[in-house]
């Protein structure tokens, strides 16, 4: 199947009017009045950001890779308080990639679009490579004029809030990579973790809360400690986190508390990344409103506060600073 046939058969049906039927080399966007545009771009490499198709596993299938690419990029928009509009794709497919994998990839895009309306494909480029698959998406979203949440607005005395749980995706990746998980978890826990890894939920539902309360926000992609570090650096502040306040899901809690060194096991998860939850700062005056938004199914947890100084400090229940090493994933 040629490049043009692949685009016509599989990608053109995913295009919004902005994509001009994918017959053009460009997309045309009429920016909605009263809004700013938010642009994000994330790239994934086979064997680095997702398992190689050669590895037998659900995670290796084309549909999963495509869905994860879109979901993780949407997470960047969620962290800005933005509403997604559409995306452009760059697909470098291995020369010998089979047609079924390509078709499945397009199916995964379709599923992602249906999960997050009105998201549509605007355009992109499809090429071959002699190396591993490299896929990249540029996501475009909108915020009301002046309403984007940055990483740079944290102020001394702000609370630090975390949505959801940390660590499920890292546990899912262990499973996808066929790493031994001991003691052996239940099938239900494995399923829970695998879903967290394969289909992370971009927290677009928190848009209203972020726009009303957040002074700074990041999505947890590099690891909670590293992403707090990004906020600290961009804001020129320190972030002090309470180790005990950072919540784990029931499945992950169960596993961590069976480990010989519970603290080390939890620390590793705080540095692991791929959670795609949101960590944000908000003034103390927002505390009651944010506590009222907390539910068991979708927790919002206060995990620390913003200080003078710089960097991230992690404190145990006694208030002592804990050593957590580099604490985050650098892509090279």
Q: 192: which 2 tokens?
A: 């829970």
User: What's the min distance (Å) between Cβ of 309 and its own copies?
Assistant: 18
CA 167 → CA 76, 249, 272, distances in Å? 19, 8, 7
Q: Which of 9, 13, 17, 48 binds its own copies (CB under 8 A)?
A: 48
- Dmax (CA) of the chain: 63
Query: By CB under 8 A, what part of segment 206-235 binds its own copies?
Result: 218-219, 221, 230, 233-234
What is the Cα–Cα distance from 218 to 216, expressed in whole angstroms? 7
Pairing of strands 311-315, 83-94: unpaired
Question: Residue 307 in contact with residue 234, Cβ under 8 Å?
Answer: no
Stretch that binds its own copies, among 9-17, 74-82, 171-179, 315-323 (CB under 8 A): 74-82
Site membership for its own copies, residue 330 (CB under 8 A): yes
Q: 310: which 2 tokens?
A: 């710089």
Site membership for its own copies, residue 43 (CB under 8 A): yes
Cβ distance to its own copies smaller for residue 23 or 321: 23
Q: Which of 88, 109, 248, 282 binds its own copies (CB under 8 A)?
A: 88
Backbone φ/ψ region at 311: left (φ over 0), alpha (ψ -120 to 50), beta: left
Q: Which of 11, 14, 38, 303 binds its own copies (CB under 8 A)?
A: 38
Question: Which positions from 120 to 159 touch its own copies by CB under 8 A, shown as an x/- string?
Answer: --xxxxxxxxxxx-x-x-x-x----x--x-xxx-------
Q: 165: which 2 tokens?
A: 């749980």
Site membership for its own copies, residue 21 (CB under 8 A): yes
Please, what is the end-to-end C-alpha distance for the chain in angstroms? 35
Site membership for its own copies, residue 325 (CB under 8 A): no
Give the DSSP letter of residue 151.
Answer: S
3-class SS of residue 292: helix
3-class SS of residue 134: strand
User: What's the min distance (Å) between Cβ of 119 and its own copies?
Assistant: 15
Cβ distance to its own copies smaller for residue 56 or 331: 331
Chain residues in the site for its own copies (CB under 8 A): 2-4, 6, 20-21, 23-31, 35-45, 47-49, 76-77, 79-80, 82, 88-93, 95, 122-132, 134, 136, 138, 140, 145, 148, 150-152, 218-219, 221, 230, 233-234, 330-332
């Amino acid at each position: 199947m040629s490049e043009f046939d692949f685009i016509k058969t599989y990608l053109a049906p995913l295009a919004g009017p902005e994509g001009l039927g994918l017959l053009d080399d460009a997309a045309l966007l009429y920016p909605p009045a009263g809004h700013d545009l938010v642009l994000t771009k994330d790239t994934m490499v086979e064997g680095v950001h997702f398992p190689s198709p050669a590895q037998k596993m659900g995670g290796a299938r084309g549909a999963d890779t495509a869905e994860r690419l879109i979901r993780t990029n949407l997470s960047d928009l969620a962290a800005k308080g933005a509403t997604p509009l559409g995306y452009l794709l760059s697909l470098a497919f291995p020369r010998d990639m089979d047609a079924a994998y390509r078709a499945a990839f397009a199916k995964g895009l379709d599923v992602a679009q249906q999960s997050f309306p009105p998201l549509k494909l605007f355009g992109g480029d499809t090429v071959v490579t002699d190396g591993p698959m490299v896929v990249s998406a540029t996501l475009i979203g909108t915020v009301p004029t002046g309403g984007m949440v940055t990483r740079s607005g944290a102020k001394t005395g702000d609370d630090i809030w975390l949505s959801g749980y940390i660590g499920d995706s890292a546990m899912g990746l262990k499973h996808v990579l066929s790493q031994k998980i001991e003691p052996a978890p239940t099938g239900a826990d494995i399923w829970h973790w695998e879903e967290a890894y394969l289909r992370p939920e971009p927290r677009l539902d928190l848009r209203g809360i972020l726009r009303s309360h957040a002074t700074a926000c990041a999505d947890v992609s590099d690891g909670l400690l590293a992403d707090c570090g990004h906020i600290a650096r961009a804001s020129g502040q320190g972030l002090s986190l309470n180790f005990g306040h950072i919540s784990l899901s029931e499945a992950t809690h169960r596993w961590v508390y069976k480990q010989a060194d519970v603290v080390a096991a939890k620390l590793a998860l705080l540095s692991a990344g791929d959670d795609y939850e949101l960590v944000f700062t908000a003034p103390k005056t927002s505390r009651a409103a944010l506590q009222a938004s907390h539910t068991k199914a979708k927790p919002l947890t206060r995990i620390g506060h913003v200080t003078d100084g710089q960097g991230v400090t992690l404190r145990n229940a006694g208030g002592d600073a804990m050593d957590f090493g580099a604490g985050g994933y650098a892509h090279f």
